[in-house]
Structure 1
């Protein structure tokens, strides 16, 4: 990937070209004005390794063995691998959730390739939470956890394992601890164990929302006719991966001080928890330079917008959305008419809520949580039945049903996703 591939159209931010200008360029990382710059940071020499070129080679390597669902997924995978080498720089570390609806979609291969490139990899599908916790608690020899078949423990069909779920959730932030007790000479001794570590999870279907919200998500799928991947032969390919991993470790060591003070500029749609998730990956991309800063932000925007489209709303959010449709352009609606319209949609859940139809009492109960109450309304006919005024919903609609950004398109609108290695990271990076 060439450094000259960036599109600097009107409104596009200039690009960083590596650690020497990563603090000055936008969207490259910015120094924290409230944090004094230490002499060590000031004296950090630019990396002798070309970060962009190194990430390019890692990207080419991963694409040999993985048929990614999208170009953005391949970018996210490479950046997540690189971020695992800089764990001392981050306050939060995104989980990598590699999911698919069916077996044989390449989830395990994604984790296997990552295990060859991340530091101190611990790849497992049956390690106990206690074992993983003890390994992570040794922060001086912190492993990178790659846990396959996680759906058998945390998926919809599993009973769940609260110890593992709690560890994955809490270990997303630096300084998180879990409390345990052990026996010492007949006495119960409490101890606190650190849980901060990079974690990748592979499985079928979905994971708990608390984990999904902390994750960079790659949704794998079965290969279509014509999609080919090189068979992975560890005896042949591990030495290649070792060279890349060692180079990545050396590059990470040379930029760690800059990564610690990085403040990546976020796209408008990347806020709150999403900013925590994508911030470290943006910092890696900015410090690498070349086409990576722009590619990282496009990948994040694609992922976040796709995630919002795929989210299954809570019953309350769905009710607010359906009521907005029922109102149309009217400024008021009777409770009876509103219920008739809601129940007319056979695909909506309102006709069967635990065996009962939505009624005025249940409707009022759900809406009350959003500060919305019915009132006596005057209709054009002069009647004054119970109903709802449109203005009562304005605040809730604004807060819980944000309008999609103007000019954005669905990340799933394109049905064809060529293998990124065949397109040189694709048109996304060559615009």
Structure 2
């Protein structure tokens, strides 16, 4: 007896097989990466595979995360990662050097935009390179589908300003770190050299590339089958993933949800792990580093003299304060850097006179003056509820520090002293 035929799926036509299950395709892409790449964690494999897949679906997402393979030393597998991605992504453009004009012209046509694979990016943005602000601005703008750059078009006095789209997927490989604005838009994969027991297959362009291209066709076919369902998708974010990290991970989580199987769970676990690692490795600006170190040094004290703060800062082994521009940080430099931040009353943070004896005083800082900046710019020193809008200086200091037994000192600054309630 002839068995009944299976009902056709909505995207199938008679005589033609339906698209593969997404989880099956992503599993095959992951297996392909594992043959040639040694990534530092399972989360990295998950992120890279989802990133590969999302490049086939750029038109349905509002943003595209950059992915950056970074390492402290060469020979850590960054280029090999990009070479494998090169075989899996649409219209890939592999480069080690590109001018802003060339990149702009490459990505400004939405119907032919490439997947940009930018190796040795440290030579463009590293400490020995120039600012390359035009290129950095273009990379940052291209993170959003709405991203454009403006150019003058025309001849002579008849020129007009025209907006050109620059939305495109971008993967990078390089030594060290990237500018903060690019890092915040990127999934960071911290590569390392292979250990003796970590083996990979040799990469051969003639034989490996066709295998990758076959997988690329499978990815493209699956992407076409789910494109309609991904329009305006809003995947659920893991707890604590908000703001820019949520923008970065939203397309990858949407791809994982569409693929099904074990990918939604893996994607969210990878998201939490890599976002947490990125925050832990985020050194922040030199100003935020200063605020954080000062918070640790105060450690509950109500006020401290500038001389003591400078000595304590210089003693921090993993901080730049003992060798800031070739010399230890000075009181003038400390005041200048802190002056960029403000108190809860919106006044610039500045040193005040603190009595050190019956007839003597010296410059120093109050915790109540620094508390608002600590609250806004520094990560909490210990797990606690999320911060709400800033309150008065008294509440901020009490929230951040316990009451401390400190020597009795008096403020002799001609400016009004901090309210008694705010002086712990």
SS at match of 2:195: coil
Would you say how many aligned residue pairs link Structure 1 and Structure 2?
Answer: 365
Check 1:282–1:367 CA distance in 2 against 1; reply closer, same or farther (3 A cut).
same
Match of 2:368 among 391, 401, 419: 391
In 2, Cα distance between the equivalents of 1:363 and 1:184?
Answer: 52
Determine the structure 2 residue equivalent to 1:349.
320
Match of 1:217 among 188, 203, 206: 188
| Contact 1:52–1:288 under 8 Å retained in 2 | yes
In 1, Cα distance between the equivalents of 2:175 and 2:330?
Answer: 37
Is 1:401 matched with 2:378?
yes
Determine the structure 1 residue equivalent to 2:137.
166
In 2, Cα distance between the equivalents of 1:125 and 1:298?
Answer: 32
Q: Following TM superposition, by how much is the alpha carbon of 1:264 offset from its aligned partner in structure 2, in angstroms?
A: 1.6
Check 1:113–1:390 CA distance in 2 against 1; reply closer, same or farther (3 A cut).
same
Determine the structure 1 residue equivalent to 2:64.
93
Map Cα deviations across residues 234-279 of structure 1 (whole Å, 9 max, x no partner).
Answer: 3333333233211211111121122221112222332211111111
Match of 2:178 among 207, 217, 221: 207
| Contact 2:61–2:232 under 8 Å retained in 1 | no
Map of 1:29-428 to 2, 5 A cutoff? 48-181=19-152, 188=159, 190-345=161-316, 348-354=319-325, 357-371=328-342, 372-376=349-353, 386-403=363-380, 406=383
In 2, Cα distance between the equivalents of 1:114 and 1:309?
Answer: 27
Compare CA radii of gyration and give the structure with the larger one: 2
Check 1:64–1:385 CA distance in 2 against 1; reply closer, same or farther (3 A cut).
same
In 2, Cα distance between the equivalents of 1:235 and 1:340?
Answer: 61
Q: TM-score, normalised by structure 2?
A: 0.77
* Alignment gaps of 5+ in structure 1: 1-19, 21-42, 408-431
Moved more, 381-390 or 364-373: 381-390
| Contact 1:44–1:257 under 8 Å retained in 2 | no
Check 1:366–1:132 CA distance in 2 against 1; reply closer, same or farther (3 A cut).
closer
Q: Following TM superposition, by how much is the alpha carbon of 1:307 offset from its aligned partner in structure 2, in angstroms?
A: 1.6
Moved segments of 4+, more than 6 Å = 378-384
| Contact 1:169–1:210 under 8 Å retained in 2 | yes
| Contact 1:377–1:389 under 8 Å retained in 2 | no
Check 1:284–1:404 CA distance in 2 against 1; reply closer, same or farther (3 A cut).
farther
In 2, Cα distance between the equivalents of 1:173 and 1:319?
Answer: 32
SS at match of 1:217: strand
Map Cα deviations across residues 25-56 of structure 1 (whole Å, 9 max, x no partner).
Answer: xxxxxxxxxxxxxxxxxx889x8421112111
Q: Following TM superposition, by how much is the alpha carbon of 1:363 offset from its aligned partner in structure 2, in angstroms?
A: 2.8
SS at match of 1:266: coil
Q: Following TM superposition, by how much is the alpha carbon of 1:62 offset from its aligned partner in structure 2, in angstroms?
A: 1.0
Cα root mean square deviation, aligned: 3.0
* Alignment gaps of 5+ in structure 2: 1-8, 13-17, 343-348, 385-424
Check 1:245–1:394 CA distance in 2 against 1; reply closer, same or farther (3 A cut).
same
| Contact 1:156–1:206 under 8 Å retained in 2 | no
| Contact 1:123–1:145 under 8 Å retained in 2 | yes
Q: TM-score, normalised by structure 1?
A: 0.76
Q: Following TM superposition, by how much is the alpha carbon of 1:282 offset from its aligned partner in structure 2, in angstroms?
A: 0.9
| Contact 2:78–2:174 under 8 Å retained in 1 | yes
In 1, Cα distance between the equivalents of 2:338 and 2:89?
Answer: 48
Q: Following TM superposition, by how much is the alpha carbon of 1:84 offset from its aligned partner in structure 2, in angstroms?
A: 0.3
Check 1:160–1:387 CA distance in 2 against 1; reply closer, same or farther (3 A cut).
closer
